[in-house]
Amino acid sequence: MREESLPINRKKHRVYSDNARRMVRRLLVQYAPKEKVGELWRSVQLRYCQLTKDAPPFGKIPHNEQFYDALMVFAYLDTVPYVPPREVMQQAVYETFMSAFDVLGAKIDANKIRYNALMAGIFKLSVKAKAKQHDACPEWFDPTECTFDAGTGAVMYAFRRCPVADFALSHGFGKYLPYMCNCDHLALQRLHAGLIRTSTCGVGDICDYTIVGDRSSLYAQYRTVTNEDGLLLSVRRDDADDIPVKYGSLL
């Protein structure tokens, strides 16, 4: 089914991105029986359309394109019985959402404080974008915060409402959230950064980021572990009682 023919309310919603379309179609070709690919693709599209009926009207909200790509991931995983191994799916989602970090990694080293100062500036722009989202749809977005410690180079960023997490949890898709959340670890790894995140909105009341160089003494105090759904979280080394899971060269 062509995207322009999808039965969605285009005054309220938008269609998934070209990257998301290519990801799902590629995975269908690789993992589903050849004779079922066309039928399954149509089923995923229709499931996506169905999910938009329950979604907040974000089609006109700025800086929120990834919400609809997340719906596409949910539609695919909820519809198709032939899905790749977790590591493959994780990499596919990362490439769809954050592949630009592969290019940035050739230029940025978060072990150098000047680059973290630049990163803090980017996150502060995100704070402004979130403020606009909150103004447009206050019941789904809370203002965010970002601080920068020039002494350690630590960038600290946090938010307490995540529409993707809220939608996933209310629709029984919580087990799929790690594919989106773990992309932050993978992306920052490309920048030679370590992400210390002890909670996300999918498992707690806040999604907190402390970003430092991957050779920093602060990052060395933590281990990255996985919960039962594959979500990567940070715990202090003295408290870690889980086994790290490797996605590519993540850990």
- Who's near 7: CB < 8 A, 6+ residues apart? 49
* CA separation, residue 126 to residues 11, 33, 117, 147, 179 (Å): 25, 42, 14, 12, 21
Residue 161: per-residue pLDDT: 87
- Residue ranges of E strands in the chain: 145-149, 154-159, 193-196, 207-213, 222-226, 232-236
Are 146 and 126 in contact by the 8 Å Cβ rule? The answer is: yes
Indicate the pLDDT class of residue 178, thresholds 50, 70 and 90: very high
What does pTM read for this prediction?
A: 0.88
pLDDT tier for residue 118 given thresholds of 50, 70 and 90: confident
For residues 17 and 98, give the distance between their C-alpha atoms in angstroms, rounded to a whole number. Answer: 13
> pLDDT (tens digit, 9 = 90+) per residue, 30-75?
999 999 999 999 999 999 999 999 998 888 776 678 899 999 999 9
What is the reported pLDDT for 62? 67
154 within 8 A of 212, measured Cβ to Cβ:
yes
